[in-house]
Amino acid sequence: MSLRTPLLDFAAARCPRFVLARAEALSLHAPARALALFAAAARAGNVQAAYRVGEAYFTGQGVICQLFAAAHWYCRAAKAGHAQAQYRLAQLYISGVAAAPHVNLFAPEEPGEADYEAALPWARRAAEAGLPEAQVILGHIFTNGPTALRNPDAALEWYGKSAGQSSAEGALGYGIALLQRACTAAARAELERAAEAGLPVAHYLLGRLSEAEEGGAPQARRHYEIAGEAGLGLAQARLGLQLYVTDPFNGETWLRRAARGGDPEAAACLGNIYASSGPQSEAAYWWRLAAERGHIESARALGTLCLTGGNTVRDPDEAVRWFAAAAEAGLPDAQAALAECLVNGRGGARDHEAARNWFLRAAAAGHAGAMFALGALHSGGFELAEDLATARYWFAQGAAHNHPLAAIMLARYAAHGTGGARDTDSARHWYARAAALGVPASAEELNALDEEESAHIMAAG
């Protein structure tokens, strides 16, 4: 570097009329020197320079990328009315980054939760200034922000304004908003614009629309392939499922790509495939991968496999862990399975009170097996106090939900007056219902009841 170069920088930094031009000229081939000039101008009150300093920290040009520092400089420019800085600041708030008065260069940046409330006024100001990218982010806030901020009509309006300025992201948002209103034809037109601009999500959504149409499978496959090659896991998974019917090898290949890329549905599908065809260890691997990513059906399936599978996968302790994870997430089948483990002491100690509580949660969601189990728990022989009236109540609930064993137990309770009044008409009804549901003993017990009733009538006569 010649002596003349730093002298030019020094002179420009002290001349507001030339500092921005000099910094812009340096920004491509000497970004660190450009940043020094932008910073000098920003400290002198130049709004555009403050924005450019923020951009340097945001992109890592001429300095280590520091989002909190970027937010600080964007905030200075945004408060002065700079629309691009307002947009960037809103973007950072949604990313969980806020302006910080001090930046620790030696500590890793740890963005927090998205702050939609803080992002909203900045996104609105930039959107009202006409920035299409800000209009998109404002639509996003009205669509995905906290419940108090959600406004589908406003989202549609701002996505539409952005799309009207030929924004691909705006067209995508507008298309999705139109789909939510069942305006399929208009939505397709917007999604096609977004797809032409190369947005993978638009191709995926067009694939879903095509797949739902008669004869649309080939077009759907084309869209899925484009989005899948771009790395979109949802499209890879749909393509894998579509191909698997006629081309299992390529179908599984796409499902594996999606699963390894983080798509839990694809991992769950692979688990289901191997559960049917084996080996069980492969099913366990994919279900575990899906369950670790929050797929609660896979957690339940993995729990069942660990409880009932072969020696390579059987592990009652792990089964209970996965049943518990899915049960806590609200899956009734898992709640009932966990309760059964607690009743029998599989994967841990017996705890009939805890089992009752899990059966109650499953029953509240309409799980007929849990209703029958509650009847059994209260009928005696368990760690809970015997309560035959409560047992009869739960057998009645299960029978009403077509549980075969609950139906025959309710018939027996009614026939013998257990837990309530004797009711032979009700008993006959539920014996017949249990027989229709496939309980072999029902017909024999119904005949015995009829014979007993006939004997009583003859004795009375």
User: What value does the mean pLDDT take over residues 133-154?
Assistant: 96
> Sorting pLDDT into bands at 50, 70 and 90, what band is 415?
very high
Between helices 83-94 and 116-128, what is the axis angle to 10°? 160
CA-CA-CA-CA torsion sign (268, 269, 274, 277) = positive
CA distance 239 to 350: 45
| Residue 428 burial by Cβ neighbours in a 10 Å radius (0-12, 13-18, 19+) | middle
User: Above 90 in pLDDT, residue 31?
Assistant: no
Write down the mean pLDDT value for the chain: 90
The per-residue pLDDT for range 289-301, each reduced to its tens digit, is: 999 999 999 999 9
Listed residue (373, 449, 374) closest to 411, CA to CA: 449
Q: What pLDDT was estimated at residue 14?
A: 52
Q: What is the rounded distance in angstroms from the CA atom of residue 69 to the CA atom of residue 50? A: 11
Q: What is the mean pLDDT of residues 432-450?
A: 92
Across 45-49, 237-241, 338-342, 451-455, least confident range: 451-455
Q: What number is the average pLDDT over the span 220-235? A: 96
- Dump pLDDT digits (tens) for 92-139: 999 888 644 444 544 555 667 889 999 999 999 999 999 999 999 999
- φ/ψ of 258, rounded to 5, equals -65, -45
Which residue, 84, 59, 81, is CA-closest to 70? 59
CA distance 52 to 64: 15
Residue 16 has what pLDDT?
53
pLDDT in tens, 333-384: 999 999 999 999 999 999 999 999 999 999 999 999 999 999 999 999 898 9
What per-residue confidence (pLDDT) applies to 13?
Answer: 46
pTM (predicted TM-score): 0.75
Q: How crowded is residue 146: how many other Cβ atoms within 10 Å of its Cβ?
A: 10
Per-residue pLDDT tens for 394-405? 999 999 999 999
Question: Is the distance from CB of 370 to CB of 390 less than 8 angstroms?
Answer: no
Amino acid at 219: Q
Q: What's the CA gap between 417 and 131, in Å, rounded? A: 76
Full set of structural domains in the chain with CATH: 1-127 (1.25.40.10), 263-347 (1.25.40.10)
Helical packing angle, 296-308 and 264-277, nearest 10°: 30
Given pLDDT bands bounded at 50, 70 and 90, which one contains residue 454?
confident
Alpha-carbon gap, residue 461 to 459, rounded angstroms: 5
Q: What is the pLDDT of residue 34?
A: 75
pLDDT digits (tens, 9 = 90+) for 201-215: 999 999 999 999 999
